[in-house]
Amino acid sequence: MPPRGRKASTAVTPAVSTPPAASTMKELKDTLWKAADKLRGSMDASQYKDVILGLVFLKYVSDAFDERREQIRAELEADGIDEDQIDGFLDDVDEYRGHGVFWVNRDARWSYLAQHAKGIPAVGNEPPKQVGQLIDEAMDYLMDANPSLRATLPRIYNRDNVDQRRLGELLDLFNSARFTGQGATKARDLLGEVYEYFLEKFAKAEGKRGGEFYTPASVVRVLVEVLEPTRGRVYDPCCGSGGMFVQTEKFLEAHHREGSEISVYGQELNERTWRMAKMNLAIHGLSGNLGPRWGDTFARDIHPDVQADYVLANPPFNIKDWARNDKDPRWKFGVPPAGNANYAWIQHIISKLAPGGSAGVVMANGSMSTQSGGEGAIRAQLVEADLVSCMVALPTQLFRSTGIPVCLWFFAKDKTVGTGGSVDRSGRVLFIDARSMGNMVDRAERSLSDDDIGLIAGTFHAWRGTASARAAGLEYADKPGFCYSATLAEIKAADYALTPGRYVGAAEVEDDGEPIEEKIDRLTKQLFDQFDESERLAKVVRQRLGRL
């Protein structure tokens, strides 16, 4: 997969007249979504998603190719190479692959497709070609020329249920859209934003099924901000569309680090989702190993020897039908029950941690206190092994796809002074109750703000004494109703339940200076006065109704 690309320097002229490009990123995304929505009525949601995301990917690789082509030309001209010799260098595949850019054949380039957005009419003995056929052929060219893309890209554009006229209009709109920011933002960044925006919109449109490939960005950011993955191996055993990896790359960028400092490993069961993840990584310039094909992590771990420095995961909750093997060596802390894979995921993730490694996992709330099928005994073993570092209870409605309340588990192989921080937290677990955080973005979904995420992550870093906490001058202290550092003995006394509410207690009530007895008397008088007023108004209403 190619590393981070740069904005293409060549412009492409639209094939047909199109609406003016949007001037802001929000307007651009909204415009493209509305345009793409024209196709929805003629196909099911999952295919519609593949059609749009495939086009976004095609636009990205073509832009990156065009940019590299112009760079080569500029370098050769600067070296005084004759014009008649330049063409040979421009078609040298290694000049592109050596710089992490996919080779794009002439008939797979966006300029060619935009030129033929209405298809190619019959010429002589050559039959006509619809634009969908041209796009399918472009996908074939890309996969043939770039081994890492084989079996990845969608070939669904020439099917009977794809409206060719609207597909051509959509192609033209993508072509004319101004994928530049305020003069400096790279095309790769903006295309990546569009891809993520579409993933989120598709997840919302598909409801419950959308949760299979998309984890809300604010939840992923909590995992990333707490773990602070800066170098080494990052692993996700159920990677969906690759959101954990993308947020990791954004974290590195925000801290002025290079994406090349991490190695990405993932696995995904669903074929379509695996393809989306491969494209998502490429668009965001991440080199990743997602295996040669999709597959079940429990039935066949495609990364058996990987020991990760960081694991980030949002496994599917409460799976009842999974590939269970009683003798699996991953079940070091107890065999998970056949009817629920939650503790299978947890133990698989722990088995993947390198010495000094850490993990963040999204789980259903029931995992914190369940006793079913031996899960309580497994949880007790995990606590006694001192692997649990932090538990976070999240607010409801963060996931549009499910009403199940969720929590975050954080694990650490080593809680002593060193890799994880400057404070020895051996024999302790940090509990954070964040259920009151977040704000509703609409009637069905809540999101955590930057301040919310910063408070959760900052509390953990202060507790652990990380470099970022020391730099920010953060010091940890228990806060009733929000956070508490519990000993293993306290957790054992609570029968190894890991629900934060059991430990953080109630929030302190601010003292307003009014003695409690006087406050009770005052509030009681106000209540009785309101009762009297209510009775008076009821009499007035009865009198007026009697006059009718």
Residue 295 CA neighbour count, 13 Å, CB half: 13
Is residue 285 situated within a structural domain? yes
Asked if residues 368 and 427 have their Cβ atoms less than 8 Å apart, the reply is: no
pLDDT tens digit sequence for 237-294 = 999 999 999 999 999 988 888 777 899 999 999 998 999 899 999 888 788 999 999 9
Asked if residues 64 and 101 have their Cβ atoms less than 8 Å apart, the reply is: yes
Q: What is the rounded distance in angstroms from the CA atom of residue 361 to the CA atom of residue 429?
A: 15
Q: What is the rounded distance in angstroms from the CA atom of residue 294 to the CA atom of residue 73?
A: 39
pLDDT at 426 over 50: yes
> Which tops the pLDDT comparison, 466 or 542?
466
pLDDT value, residue 4: 35
Mean pLDDT of 356-373: 96
Tell me which of 42-46, 112-116, 152-156 is least confident.
Answer: 42-46
Residue with tokens 């003016």: 20
> What angle in degrees, to the nearest 10, is found between the helix axes of 25-36 and 187-206?
50
Is residue 183 situated within a structural domain? yes
Find all residues with CB under 8 Å of 177, minimum gap 6, and list them.
21, 22, 28, 31, 32
pLDDT at 353 over 50: yes
Domain that holds residue 300: 213-426
pLDDT tens digit sequence for 160-181 = 888 899 899 888 888 877 665 4
Mean pLDDT for all residues in the chain: 87
412 and 393 in a common domain: yes
188 and 139 in a common domain: yes
Is residue 508 situated within a structural domain? no
Is residue 350 situated within a structural domain? yes
310 and 239 in a common domain: yes
418 and 288 in a common domain: yes
- Last residue of some domain: 364, 392, 426? 426
pLDDT at 233 over 50: yes
187 and 286 in a common domain: no
pLDDT at 347 over 90: yes
Is residue 172 situated within a structural domain? yes
305 and 334 in a common domain: yes
pLDDT tens digit sequence for 483-510 = 999 999 999 999 999 999 999 998 765 5
CATH number of the domain at 166, please: 1.20.1260.30
Give this prediction's pTM.
0.82
CATH number of the domain at 306, please: 3.40.50.150
101 and 74 in a common domain: yes
Measured in whole angstroms, the distance separating CA 409 from the mean position of its chain's CA atoms is 17
pLDDT value, residue 32: 78
- DSSP single-letter state for residue 42: G
Find all residues with CB under 8 Å of 169, minimum gap 6, and list them.
18, 35, 38, 117
pLDDT value, residue 186: 59
Is residue 9 situated within a structural domain? no
238 and 177 in a common domain: no
Is residue 422 situated within a structural domain? yes
Is residue 19 situated within a structural domain? no
Find all residues with CB under 8 Å of 382, minimum gap 6, and list them.
333, 346, 350, 388
**Percent of the chain residues past pLDDT 70, beyond the cut:** 90
pLDDT at 459 over 50: yes
415 and 291 in a common domain: yes
pLDDT value, residue 209: 62
Neighbours of 475 (CB within 10 A): 11
148 and 264 in a common domain: no
> Which tops the pLDDT comparison, 226 or 539?
226
pLDDT tens digit sequence for 12-64 = 333 333 444 444 677 778 877 887 777 777 676 667 888 888 998 998 899 88
pLDDT value, residue 60: 86
Query: Per-residue confidence at 182, pLDDT binned at 50, 70, 90?
Result: very low
Residue type, 38: K
The total number of structural domains that make up the chain? 3
187 and 265 in a common domain: no
pLDDT value, residue 513: 65
- Last residue of some domain: 152, 178, 202? 202
Query: What does residue 155 show for φ and ψ, rounded to 5 degrees?
Result: -120, 75
pLDDT value, residue 13: 35
Find all residues with CB under 8 Å of 542, minimum gap 6, and list them.
none
Query: Per-residue confidence at 512, pLDDT binned at 50, 70, 90?
Result: low
Mean pLDDT of 343-354: 98
Q: What is the rounded distance in angstroms from the CA atom of residue 456 to the CA atom of residue 392?
A: 8
pLDDT at 402 over 80: no
- Last residue of some domain: 169, 202, 235? 202
Indicate the Cα dihedral angle 201, 203, 206, 210, nearest 10°: 170
40 and 62 in a common domain: yes
Residue 25 burial (10 A CB sphere; 0-12, 13-18, 19+): middle
